[in-house]
Structure 1
Amino acid sequence: MTGHPDTPDVPPTRWSLAEPGTHGYSSRFAELVAQGEDVDGEARLADALTQRGATILDAGAGMGRVTAGLRARGHTVTGIEPDRSLVAQAEATYPGLGLLPLDILETTPEVLEAHGRPTAYALVVAVGNVFILLAEGTEQRALRTLRDLLAPGGRMLIGFHLSAGPAGSRTYAPEEFVADATAAGLTVDLRAGSYELHPANEEYAVWLLSRDDSPS
């Protein structure tokens, strides 16, 4: 999830503006975790996309379930989440998780280095509707920011609803997302309809992206 309250060049996100209608998110997932339910679909796919012990960035980490799931699989994971209430929920659900309270737009190599975290990643994960809850008009900027954090050969895993998204979210048509990714210097390697890689559909999109380092 996304939304930073007090950084001037980071505008309020759709998540933060719709927050009264989204309070059930963290409690619902906390209950699922407590009940032992499977909440690891995204983490399983991310794990399959990387080598053992990979360095991974979980952008818009929410209450931390993907960060926790990937750490449990042996990866070095940095989770960022600007919503302080979700950071607190993540710590309560997964003690010691240590999410950084950062918006995607302010997550530069310099900022990560200042926090003692890696500055380049084999995989960047932004799942759970992060990209349809960004601040209006910042999608390309967010994609560029994350692209700049990819290590050579690194990839990006993004997922969001194409219809019936959460409160306050936008509709992000596949062709528009592809155009934004291309403008941000990324190549779309795969579009699927779920984290189990079902065929592309009109309800949910899972994207695998890589850097386009061809000469402009």
Structure 2
Amino acid sequence: MSLPPTRWELAGDRNRGYGETFAQRVAEGADVDGEARLLDAIAPRGARVLDVGSGMGRVAAALQARGHRVTATEPDAVLRAQSEATYPELAVLPHEALALDPAEVGEFDVVAVVGNVMVYVGEDTERRVLARVRELLAPEGRAVVGFHLTAVKAGSRTYPPDEFVADASAAGLRVVHRFGSYELHEANDEYAVWVLARD
């Protein structure tokens, strides 16, 4: 079955600055591990972790360095090449969320959908993506989803909290927590970090 183009694909070269920005931050020694610290905190030791839309690999590599068994997936060939160059020890699958087959990859203790992935999925596929996340979660597993609530990035969409919660519920997920950052600031109108579990 063919998949609809993602908003990321449709934005094309307008998104190339993402990888360049984080490459510069990594080179400068900046702290780029906020997401990884939160994911590590909620994961059992040596957890199976799936990073959906792993980008240039910084979150997946940080989790792998902390001893987790990480599966990274990134459909963008340019970002995948950057990931392989920056973190050569990190294997990256060329799949988007809907192309992941739970029968092949198995279940995960933690599924990461961070870095604005949800506001770049294909139009009207949000519930399908969240349903796939649920399929990929182990029974006691949790998903962490983070995105800007308004369309501040090239090609992204505005995704209001009530709509996201409705989509998650329809996909068989429930909200365990909502924060305003990966450092667990209180919820706000700019950015949301959700911790989800199977309903």
For the criterion TM > 0.5, the same-fold answer is: yes
Equivalence for 1:101: 94
Among all aligned residue pairs of Structure 1 and Structure 2, give the percentage whose two residues are the same amino acid: 58
How many residue pairs end up in the alignment?
A: 199
* C-alpha separation in 1, matches of 2:176 and 2:141: 12
What is the aligned counterpart of 1:90 among 76, 83, 95?
Answer: 83
Cross-structure match for 1:36: 29
**Partner amino acid, structure 2, of 1:188:** V
Q: How much has 1:164 moved relative to structure 2?
A: 4.8
Local SS of the residue matching 1:202: coil
Determine the structure 2 residue equivalent to 1:200: 187
Q: C-alpha separation between the residues in 1 aligned to 2:91 and 2:115?
A: 19
CA distance in 2, matches of 1:111, 1:120: 9
1:19 to partner: Cα distance: 1.6
**Cα offset for 1:35?**
1.4
2:141 equivalent in structure 1: 154
Alignment deviations for residues 58-91 of structure 1 (CA, whole Å, 9 cap, x no partner): 0011111100010111111100011111110000
**Residue 170 (structure 2) pairs with residue 183 (structure 1):** yes
The residue aligned with 1:21 is 14
1:163 aligns with 2:129: no
Q: TM-score, normalising length from structure 2?
A: 0.97
The CA RMSD measured in Å over matched residues stands at: 0.9
Contact 2:116 2:146 in 1 (8 A): yes
How far apart are 1:21 and its partner, in Å? 0.8
Unaligned runs of 5+ in 1: 1-7, 113-118
Which is helix-richer, 1 or 2?
A: 2
TM-score (norm 1): 0.90
1:70-129, CA deviations, whole angstroms, 9 ceiling, x for partnerless residues? Answer: 0111111100011111110000111121110001001012343xxxxxx11000000000
* Secondary structure of the structure 1 residue equivalent to 2:176: strand
For residues 84 and 122 of structure 2, the distance between their equivalents in structure 1, rounded to whole angstroms, comes to 25
Does the 8 A contact of 2:14 with 2:154 survive in 1? yes
Match of 1:116 in 2: none
